[in-house]
Amino acid sequence: MTAVVLNEVRKGFYLDSVALMRLSREIATIPGVVEAALMMGTPSNIAIMRNAGLLSGDISTQGSDLILAVKAETEQAARAALDDALKALDKPKSQAGGKSAWRPRSIASAVAATPNANIALISVPGEFAAAEARKALNRGLHVLMFSDNVSIADELSLKQQAREAGLLMMGPDCGTAIINGAPLAFANKLKRGKVGIIGASGTGTQEISCLVSEAGVGISHAIGVGGRDLKKDIGGITTLMAIDALDADPATERVVLVSKPPHPDVAKAVVARIAKSPKIYTVCFIGAASAELPKNAGFAATLKQAAEHALGGKKIGAGFDPAAVGARLPRRKGAGRIEGLFAGGTLCAEAQVVLTAGGRKVASNAPIPGVASLDSKDSAGCDRMIDLGADEYTQGRPHPMIDPSVRDDALRAALVNPDIAVVLLDLVIGYGAHADPASHLAGVVAGRGDNAPVLIASVTGTELDPQVRSAQIKRLESAGIIVTPSNEQACELALAVINADAKVNRHANA
């Protein structure tokens, strides 16, 4: 049977991407519907829909137009589903802030009506994000730009403008921040305390802040800078401003800086600035083996080590013994590989650090220095660490932290792959994340065979989060998934399972 594709365009109709994803999913569940997608009519979205076979012919739209696409078994089913989608669009938009809340149509009118506004949280499509950030900066607002797909030229220009005005420009592609206790975008609810964080990596910031908070010491602020801030083009503009801000902040006693390895020139400038600080620093350039640091700073090779350094040496999950736990777990006969399926990019990077230090050959779609790229010849037979938040998995789809089903196909394939001994998983909870990712994951792995790989997971989150960390752990454990105190320890346990009779090869943690 040939599927039928029907399209409809709503001129000048905007809904945010998460709302559109949700409605697309609802329409896709209608009997007879094969696939459904509702997307704004930007050139990149049109290309995605065309590649997915969801456009029936030529289509002419602007970025302000909404395209509806339904692929169904029959024309009748497609037409009925399209009608349902159109009816759903005609329902009044939900009123953020309550039914009676007045909604300004622009940043200018929002600021005019709310003179004490001090920060803009921008998550519009990337092609419009720089323009909105500029409007916010022009009106004296600090900016957290959650949007990605912003050019590096725009990023530099916005950060220069922000610096000139004394404003923080966090992002683009800044997934998380906590300012004065307020969790912004994907952030966790944390204890307040003396540790400040400057993060160029979202899930790195989340893992460190959660480990510190759960250990009982809290977070003063977590300032996101965006993943490219420490690249040569940007020169660490926001990072250097964040250091100034936290140095001057009386609530902050220690500071953690987490990033992918910076450009050497930028690293030198940042380290020189840290040397002038009166505060104690922890530097985690995840994927770098070391860094030359001043006396007031310590290097951490992993996120867990960074949290422990910030805690003054207190061990996280001290009672957890990967060798002892690993010895009790069954080893799948004939299997020798570890497969990591990560929602968090920095958690995927940390896994590569731990596994390579443990003597494993590793490949990844987001390789750290020294790790093979998945599409290279060197990747054959390697452990595979997959960042499911990377562009190739999320183009036209929500991030796996919002929609954990992004991981489902890869996980189902791993469960029946005879080469895989261990599957490493992460759950990132908190504001912005899926309401119950553990139950989703448990549902996917339910009914797996007796000879399935060992499943090991960690949960990045806190007891204060809406999903409640301990409840998520309990749900995973009820599904037979081994849960460790941190992502690093999940990787150490994977090593212990693989090397069941060998001493766990601990990396430079001493």
Restricting to residues 107-166, name those near other proteins by CB under 8 A. Answer: 107, 110-111, 113-114, 116-125, 127-128, 130-132, 134-136, 138, 141-142, 146-147, 154, 163-166
Does residue 379 sit in helix, strand or coil?
helix
State both tokens at 500: 């069941």
| Residues between 61 and 80 that touch other proteins (CB under 8 A) | 62-65
Give min distance, CB of 124 to other proteins, in A. Answer: 4
CA distance 364 to 254: 33
Applying CB under 8 A, which of residues 70, 168, 258, 438 lies at the interface with other proteins? 168
Q: Which is nearer to other proteins, 198 or 423 (CB)?
A: 198
Q: Which is nearer to other proteins, 120 or 420 (CB)?
A: 120
Q: Which is nearer to other proteins, 44 or 509 (CB)?
A: 44
| Residues between 421 and 450 that touch other proteins (CB under 8 A) | 431-432
- Cross-strand bridge partners of residue 457: 425, 483
| Residues between 356 and 395 that touch other proteins (CB under 8 A) | none
CA distance 95 to 124: 18
Give min distance, CB of 421 to other proteins, in A. Answer: 38
CA distances from 336 to 3, 23, 417, 423 (A): 42, 42, 11, 11
Give min distance, CB of 117 to other proteins, in A. Answer: 5
Residue 318's identity, in one-letter code, is: A
Q: Which is nearer to other proteins, 138 or 290 (CB)?
A: 138
**What contacts 244, CB < 8 A, 6 or more positions away?**
none
* 44: nearest Cα among 128, 157, 154: 128
State both tokens at 339: 């497969």
Angle subtended at Cα 411 by Cα 406 and Cα 412, rounded to the nearest 5 degrees = 110
Q: Which is nearer to other proteins, 19 or 508 (CB)?
A: 19
| Residues between 255 and 294 that touch other proteins (CB under 8 A) | none
Give min distance, CB of 239 to other proteins, in A. Answer: 13
Stretch that binds other proteins, among 183-191, 287-295, 314-322, 445-453 (CB under 8 A): 183-191
DSSP letter (8 states) at residue 343? S
**What contacts 233, CB < 8 A, 6 or more positions away?**
152, 155, 156
H-state helical runs in 456-501:
469-478, 487-498
State both tokens at 365: 């779609």
Q: Is 241 in the site for other proteins (CB under 8 A)?
A: yes
For residues 184 and 121, is the Cβ–Cβ distance under 8 A?
Answer: yes
| Residues between 390 and 419 that touch other proteins (CB under 8 A) | none
Q: Which is nearer to other proteins, 248 or 510 (CB)?
A: 248
Q: How do beta strands 119-122 and 142-145 pair?
A: parallel
Give min distance, CB of 208 to other proteins, in A. Answer: 19
Give min distance, CB of 44 to other proteins, in A. Answer: 11
Stretch that binds other proteins, among 67-75, 178-186, 365-373, 496-504 (CB under 8 A): 178-186
- Cross-strand bridge partners of residue 72: 4, 33
E strand or H helix at 58: none
Q: Which is nearer to other proteins, 111 or 347 (CB)?
A: 111
Applying CB under 8 A, which of residues 159, 191, 221, 434 lies at the interface with other proteins? 221
Q: Is 105 in the site for other proteins (CB under 8 A)?
A: yes
State both tokens at 140: 């004296």
| Residues between 12 and 31 that touch other proteins (CB under 8 A) | 12, 14, 16-19
Q: Which is nearer to other proteins, 12 or 264 (CB)?
A: 12
CA distance 164 to 172: 18
Q: Which is nearer to other proteins, 40 or 456 (CB)?
A: 40
Give min distance, CB of 215 to other proteins, in A. Answer: 22
- Cross-strand bridge partners of residue 184: 177
Applying CB under 8 A, which of residues 244, 409, 419, 463 lies at the interface with other proteins? 244
Give min distance, CB of 114 to other proteins, in A. Answer: 5
Q: Which is nearer to other proteins, 41 or 202 (CB)?
A: 41
Q: What are the backbone dihedrals phi and psi of residue 298, each rounded to the nearest 5 degrees, phi first? A: -120, 145
Q: How many residues bind other proteins (CB under 8 A)?
A: 77
Q: Is 172 in the site for other proteins (CB under 8 A)?
A: no
Buried b / exposed e over 454-481, threshold 16 CB at 10 Å, is bbbbbbbbbebbebebebbbebbeebeb
Angle subtended at Cα 481 by Cα 478 and Cα 483, rounded to the nearest 5 degrees = 100
Which string of x and - marks every residue 31-50 that binds other proteins (by CB under 8 A)?
---------xxx--------
Q: Is 466 in the site for other proteins (CB under 8 A)?
A: yes
Give min distance, CB of 111 to other proteins, in A. Answer: 7
Q: Which is nearer to other proteins, 92 or 447 (CB)?
A: 92
- Cross-strand bridge partners of residue 483: 457
**What contacts 96, CB < 8 A, 6 or more positions away?**
103
DSSP-assigned letters across all residues of 188-234 = ----EEEEEEEESSHHHHHHHHHHHHHTT--EEEEEE--TTTTSTTT
Cis ω on the peptide bond leading into residue 172 (within 30° of 0)?
yes
Give min distance, CB of 54 to other proteins, in A. Answer: 20
Applying CB under 8 A, which of residues 2, 29, 60, 180 lies at the interface with other proteins? 180
Q: Which is nearer to other proteins, 245 or 374 (CB)?
A: 245
**What contacts 375, CB < 8 A, 6 or more positions away?**
none
